Amino acid sequence: MKEKLLVGWKETLDLPELGIYGIEAKVDTGAASSVLHCNSYKIINEDGQDWIICELIINFKTKETKTLKLKLYRTKLVKSSFGQEEKRYYIRTTATLYNQVFSIKISFRNRSQMTYPMLLGKNFLNKRFLVDVSKENLSMKTLVK
């Protein structure tokens, strides 16, 4: 069995396929899926394939945005933390932590009122990571040594 990596209550990671580097994510074991802030999005269908066109912030200090067209992996009805059902759109991409690349499924939501632009949910964390809620950015601190 592969040893699990230790993460804190928040981590800084990269989403290289999306051109996003150094994004702060809150680790949320109560959330099933991982969520990324998206200013706006629309779903289109081209030749039988669904795509999501979304405006993402790629630099959180300067608020620089980029519009991406991404292949839709899945659509699912989920219950929000407020108890309301909403349709979520998911993509598959990669995330880099501990200088390792992991596959991740991400849905999009406007998180402009939240402290962190991304949530890492238990579907991503499961079988890979253990969470120490008293620590933060453990994946970055290991690389700096």
Summarize the confidence of residues 99-112 as an average pLDDT. 94
What range defines the domain where residue 99 resides? 5-38+74-144
Summarize the confidence of residues 22-31 as an average pLDDT. 94
Q: Is residue 57 part of a domain?
A: no
How far from the centroid of its chain's Cα atoms is residue 28's Cα?
A: 11
Q: Is residue 83 part of a domain?
A: yes
Q: Is residue 24 part of a domain?
A: yes
User: E strands along the chain, which residues?
Assistant: 5-8, 10-15, 20-27, 34-37, 40-46, 49-59, 64-71, 74-79, 85-97, 100-109, 118-120, 129-132
- Return the structure tokens found at 87: 């349709």
Q: The pTM is what?
A: 0.88
pLDDT at 112: 83
Total domains in the fold of the chain: 1
CATH of the domain at 23: 2.40.70.10
- Is a pLDDT exceeding 70 seen at residue 143? no
pLDDT tens across 110-139, in order?
A: 888 888 999 999 999 999 999 999 999 999
Asked if 23 contacts 13 with a C-beta cutoff of 8 angstroms, the reply is yes
pLDDT at 60: 76
pLDDT at 54: 95
Between these two residues, 64 and 51, which has the higher pLDDT value? 51
